[in-house]
Amino acid sequence: MKTRVNSLNAPDICRLETNHQQLLRLSLELEQAMEEIGTDPKYADLRHLFNSIFLLLGETHNLEEEVLFPGFDHRAGSCFSVMIIEHLKAEHRYDRLAAEELRLTLTALSEGQCTLPLDTIARMLCSFLECLRRHVSTEKLMMEALLAAESEEREIFA
């Protein structure tokens, strides 16, 4: 007997879209704060912004894995969906590890205990934010494909 997978509902869609928008907004704020570091070193601001991203990222990953991925897999109609979902879950794990490393680095920086040069930290942040943006973009496309397939009662890859 096949288990029924719930479709995405309006509150889930709204939460995902809101989280994605907040992640992108916080990313921009963090980039701007990092650019200003040379003129006004407010490392605590960097740490606070990144902690907001860190918490929101975990919440977003959980929501995607509980709501988006099962719906996508159910509507995919292809064995590729399993590979896509496993790849995205691996990216989630990588994102969490990179975020934890950055969180620890920014905490040490704000406490005056970081020995890394600022340009190294800036590159770490830029790389993380680029991956985050690419990931958000991919999952937005995934959500759009799922919603279109559900509204047309077809498979995603049909």
Regions of the chain short of the pLDDT cut 50: 1-4
* Domains in the chain: ranges and CATH: 10-148 (1.20.120)
Q: Which residues contact 17 (CB under 8 A, 6 or more apart)?
A: none
Tens-place pLDDT, residues 47-81: 888 999 999 999 999 999 999 999 888 888 778 88
The model carries a pTM of 0.85
